[in-house]
Amino acid sequence: QVQLQQWGAGLLKPSETLSLTCAVFGGSFSDYYWTWIRQPPGKGLEWIGKINHSGSTTYNPSLKSRVAISVDTSKNQFSLEVTSVIAADTAVYFCAPYSGGSGGLDPWGQGTLVTVSS
Amino acid sequence: DIQMTQSPSSVSASVGDRVTITCRASQGISRWLTWYQQKPGKAPKLLIYAASSLQSGVPSRFSGSGSGTDFTLTISSLQPEDFATYYCQQANSFPLTFGGGTKVEIQ
Q: What is the pLDDT of residues A27-40, one digit of tens each?
A: 889 999 999 999 99
Q: What is the pLDDT of residues B32-54, one digit of tens each?
A: 999 999 999 999 999 999 999 99
Strand partners, B75: B19, B62
pLDDT confidence of residue B106 = 87
The whole-angstrom separation of Cα A2 and Cα A10 is: 25
Please say whether the beta carbons of B72 and B65 come within 8 A.
yes
Among B6, B45, B94, which would you mutate to test the A interface (most chain A Cβ atoms within 10 Å of its Cβ)?
Answer: B94
Residue A70 pLDDT > 90? yes
The whole-angstrom separation of Cα B58 and Cα B76 is: 13
Q: Do B49 and A103 touch (CB under 8 A)?
A: yes
Residue A17 pLDDT > 90? yes
What's the CA dihedral at A40, A42, B97, A69 to 10 degrees? 20
Residue A64 pLDDT > 90? no
Sequence-ordered strand ranges (E) for chain A: 3-8, 11-12, 18-25, 33-39, 46-51, 57-59, 67-72, 77-82, 91-98, 112-116
Q: If DSSP codes are grouped into helix, strand and coil, which group holds residue A5?
A: strand
Residue B33 CA from chain centroid, whole number: 9
Residues ≥6 apart with Cβ < 8 Å to A4: A22, A23, A24, A25, A95, A96, A97, A107, A108, A109, A110
Sites in chain B below the pLDDT cut of 70: none
Count contacts between A and B (CB, < 8 Å). Answer: 67
The whole-angstrom separation of Cα A71 and Cα A56 is: 9
pLDDT confidence of residue A10 = 92
pLDDT confidence of residue A77 = 97
pLDDT confidence of residue B77 = 97
pLDDT confidence of residue A27 = 86
Q: Do A111 and B95 touch (CB under 8 A)?
A: no
pLDDT confidence of residue B107 = 86
- Select the residue of B32, B99, B100 nearest A103 (Cβ to Cβ): B32
Expressed in angstroms, the distance from the first to the final Cα of chain A is 40
B-chain CB neighbours of A50 within 8 Å are 94
Q: What is the pLDDT of residues A82-118, one digit of tens each?
A: 999 999 999 999 999 999 899 999 999 999 999 999 9
Strand partners, A92: A39, A113
The whole-angstrom separation of Cα A89 and Cα A15 is: 11
Q: Which residue of B has its CA nearest to A39?
A: B43
Mean pLDDT in chain A? 96
Of A70, A54, A79, the C-alpha closest to A4 is A79
Q: Which amino acid is at B67?
A: S
B-chain CB neighbours of A59 within 8 Å are 95
